[in-house]
Structure 1
Amino acid sequence: MTPRSSHPVAPAGFWQRPAVAQALASRDIGGFLKLYQQWTGATQTQIATACEVPQSHISHIMRGKRQVTSLDMYERFARGLDIPRALLGLAEPAPTAETPALVERTGPDRRAVLAVTAATVVLAADDELDEVTRRMQHFAASNVDDAAVEQLNVSVDLIGCRYEGSDAAAVYPTALRQRRYVAELMSGHQHPRFRGELYVVAGKLSGLLGYLAFDLGNEVLARAYCNEAMSLAQAAGHRDLAAWVRGTQSFIAYYAGRYKQALDYARDGQRHAAGGPASIRLAISGEARTLGKLGDRRGVDDAVDRALAAHAQADHVDPVGYFLSFEPFGAARLAGNAASAYLALGAVDRVREFTDQAIPVFARSNSAASHALTLVDASMTYLVGHDIEPDRAGALVSEALTVGSRLRSQVVARRAQDFVTGAAPWAAVPEIAEVADAVAAWRTPAA
């Protein structure tokens, strides 16, 4: 599967369009991004990656919830999207010697402490005045600033993006390195505002490590990371992060076969989410899929309807996004998870309805794991009902294994093994036998 380019190229005449020129002249980045998406087809994830800005910021800018005012941000959009600098009122950069690209810059130098002193230095012999001055200096001193926190958030988004096109083994070391770096920063001194933001970044990284550890087969470590992430979310008073962590804990319990616990986590997550970004994921991936395993058709219908209603109310949601995003689930992921929920109930027509929506979108994206999982779900519908087609089912799983051939995903491996188990009555069919051999040879990492 060929990865997508960082962003599509603007069509001829795009920069001369009056609406584009007006948005850039007024520095209305939100309005410009809507036009850019309309004419190029770029997703929020592609824009975020190209501009080195968190996807959540792109979403908020396009929804008018965040304004772009800093020169640094204008420079990022100009470089990332090849915007003619004059249209944004930016001067051409002075020629400088080429320097190597900075890879995975995640904040200030580890040994640098940004000392910001009081505006007026009180020079007095009195010891008490000197003590006040020292306290003011210490309070203002911080080993992080706004730019450092921004870059740490970019690193969180990049981990999620990279996982989408690779596997847990490839991105786990980066996530672990970033988490250790944030822990090192937290052992230093920050202004209380930055301290709270570091708690949130640390919680996100621990949550990501929890999911990745589970995908690598280590459930004990996964649960420990999720517990740490939940503690950080609660300490920071960050309800969206707490809801996301509950969603991951529900996911882990679901794949471990603890369906009642998975449902409890998902419903507690909804309490934290209060209709926020994680509510769609919790309803469809947490509640609907688990209720499907518990045989509750009415519950599945209700959870799917709530997820669809919440998605309809969300503004500018990337149709694909990526699974480890902290933004709302997009349409393709919603459909893929709905298919899994109805598959557990044997509702073939609804499974095909949703897989038909999701598969083409995933096929055009870099979401190899989601594409593979949805293909396996679609294949299972050809092993039930009156018109059984084991050869077609086997062909779809073969395609899924091809799509996921670069992945070492425990989740994909388990779903493929579920297919082989369900297809045992047709083991003699060539397509089924071929899949069984491929799954037996599938190499997943040890726990």
Structure 2
Amino acid sequence: MSESNELLRAARERTPSPNTPGAHLSRAELAEAVCAWLWATTDTRYELDGHYIAKLERGAVRWPGAAYRAGLREVLHVATDSELGFNQAGASGPLAPEATSCSMAGMEDKLIDAADQSISLLALAEESNVGGLTVEQLHADIQRIAQNYLKVPTKALFQRSLAVRDRAFKLLGGRQPPQQTRDLYAAAGWALTLLGWMSVDLGRPEVAESHTRTAWACADASGYDELRAWVRATQHTTAFWQDDIDHALDFALDGLRYAAGTSALFLASAAALDLTRAGRTDEARAMLDQAKRTKPDPSVPELGGLFLCTPERAEGLWSDAYLTLGQPQLTLDHANHSVALFESAPHALRNPGSERMARLQQAKAHLLLGELDGAREALTPVLATRTEYRVRPLIHRVSEVAALTRSTPYADDPKAQSLQAVIREFTRFPATTRDPLDEIAQGEPDTTTGSSRRKSLSKR
């Protein structure tokens, strides 16, 4: 008999019912909330019900699919699968219903296409070729994608970004008032910027250049400075992960000309890191001071997620800069504060990618300070990252930690060698080695939804 999952049951029973005052969440209410969240974030219908929740609580299914796990974490307000008693090593029982149900077999693409077509028909329901509801829908899609990146499987979000880009450009081919034209260019620009960032994370920064080049043209056409700033931030990131630090710095500094919201905090922090990598120490320290003094304008609308630089995200960048400056104690101080802020933030507002990078700065600083156990502790949550979220920059940074464990004084330390073995296994499976949603055997459905670098800013 399977062991019951008391952690999942306890999490459900401490969550208030939205329908019955004083009662806890029922299994049916939990299933309904998860399905609603998945629909809102992926535009895909799922067939989760109270009976399947009962199977999970009985332990008949120990490892539901990635989408269900993401939805359960969100609704039950936890950060990790283990807090809900899910353990892949202990997976048993029948496949999840999304793998065995025949009512949806072969229908996923048609459902998404139908949803896209319905949204596109808003244009026909309004007086002009595009109206306020159509533009609002495009921008709502962008916000949802940005806020859920690295929290739900990437493929659906990538496809949604493509759909927004294509729909915006199709509508631009018609006639609309000037303000709506600017808003459509903005929607296309944000979608292209998302595609650029995702391409970097999936190990193809050279592909990202094509997206961000067009995104910059859209940002110019829209006239929105905050979009210009985040395009430059993405171009900085694209150049940075190709070790083209000079161009990365150019992009960051140019972006600061347009930044007023939290993009100003990100770009100043990124420029400080670029200056340290370029060996321009005095300028780097001055830029770090500027970043720490930066106060984003609270009146600037923020999309959130990728396009939001919180204090904890900025401190992660500062810790990286101090590491390059050869100051491991300051690196650790800023990384510790960054992680503490991430851990105290509401789960829905945490940026998992930036949080993992801050934990890796903790690990590096501990190693440089001779604290192997501290490094192991900092690294443990990172090594629990699911395969579909092991983006290339994360793999790169984890490999840097491994390199430190092979250096003196850790070369012959059994604990360091054990850590190296765990890291080797982790880096064998980056997110790009297989389709992020290709987990049919584990009960996960297919949820598919419908260049040379320029040499100067004057040419961009």
- Shared fold by TM > 0.5? yes
Instruction: Give, in angstroms, the shift of residue 338 of structure 1.
Output: 0.9
The aligned residue for residue 120 of structure 2 is: 110
- Mapped partners of 1:323, 1:415: distance in 2: 21
The aligned residue for residue 429 of structure 1 is: 413
Q: Which amino acid aligns with 1:292?
A: T
Match of 2:289 among 305, 310, 322: 305
Query: Contact 1:280–1:307 (CA<8 Å) still a contact in 2?
Result: yes
User: Root-mean-square deviation (CA), in Å?
Assistant: 3.5
- Mapped partners of 1:163, 1:419: distance in 2: 25
- Verify: 1:360 aligned to 2:340, yes or no: yes
Instruction: Give, in angstroms, the shift of residue 293 of structure 1.
Output: 1.5
Q: Deviation digits for residues 173-215 of structure 1, max 9, x if unmatched?
A: 2212222222222233322221111001100100110010111
Query: Contact 1:383–1:423 (CA<8 Å) still a contact in 2?
Result: yes
The aligned residue for residue 168 of structure 2 is: 182
Query: Contact 2:235–2:248 (CA<8 Å) still a contact in 1?
Result: yes
Match of 1:324 among 294, 303, 306: 306
Classify 1:205/1:389 alpha carbon distance in 2 versus 1 (closer, same or farther; 3 Å).
same
* SS of residue matched to 1:271: coil
The aligned residue for residue 408 of structure 1 is: 390
* SS of residue matched to 1:142: coil
Q: Which amino acid aligns with 1:280?
A: L
Indicate the structure (1 or 2) with the bigger Cα radius of gyration: 1
Match of 1:279 among 255, 264, 267: 264
Q: What is the percentage of aligned positions where both structures have the same residue?
A: 24
Instruction: Give, in angstroms, the shift of residue 351 of structure 1.
Output: 1.2
Match of 1:417 among 388, 399, 409: 399
Q: Which amino acid aligns with 1:279?
A: A
- Mapped partners of 2:188, 2:147: distance in 1: 18
Higher relative contact order (CA 8 A, sep 6+): 2
Match of 2:187 among 182, 201, 204: 201
| Residues 248-267 of structure 1: pairs in structure 2 closer than 5 A | 248-267=234-253
Classify 1:323/1:416 alpha carbon distance in 2 versus 1 (closer, same or farther; 3 Å).
farther
Match of 2:221 among 224, 227, 235: 235
Q: Deviation digits for residues 404-430 of structure 1, max 9, x if unmatched?
A: 655131111111011112221224434
Runs of 4+ in 1 over 6 A off after TM superposition: 102-108
- Mapped partners of 1:200, 1:440: distance in 2: 42
- Mapped partners of 1:161, 1:294: distance in 2: 32
- Mapped partners of 1:315, 1:113: distance in 2: 33
- Verify: 1:373 aligned to 2:385, yes or no: no
The aligned residue for residue 373 of structure 2 is: 391
Match of 2:323 among 331, 338, 343: 343
Q: Which amino acid aligns with 1:255?
A: W
| Residues 87-166 of structure 1: pairs in structure 2 closer than 5 A | 109-111=119-121, 113-114=123-124, 141-166=127-152
Classify 1:340/1:423 alpha carbon distance in 2 versus 1 (closer, same or farther; 3 Å).
same
- Mapped partners of 2:402, 2:413: distance in 1: 12
The aligned residue for residue 122 of structure 1 is: none
Instruction: Give, in angstroms, the shift of residue 247 of structure 1.
Output: 0.9
Instruction: Give, in angstroms, the shift of residue 112 of structure 1.
Output: 5.3
Q: Deviation digits for residues 47-98 of structure 1, max 9, x if unmatched?
A: xx99x9xxxxxxxxxxxxxxxxxxxxxxxxxxxxxxxxxxxxxxxxxxxxxx
Instruction: Give, in angstroms, the shift of residue 277 of structure 1.
Output: 4.3
* TM-score (normalizing by structure 2): 0.63
Match of 1:293 among 260, 271, 277: 277
Instruction: Give, in angstroms, the shift of residue 234 of structure 1.
Output: 1.2
Classify 1:144/1:106 alpha carbon distance in 2 versus 1 (closer, same or farther; 3 Å).
farther
Match of 1:439 among 423, 430, 449: 423
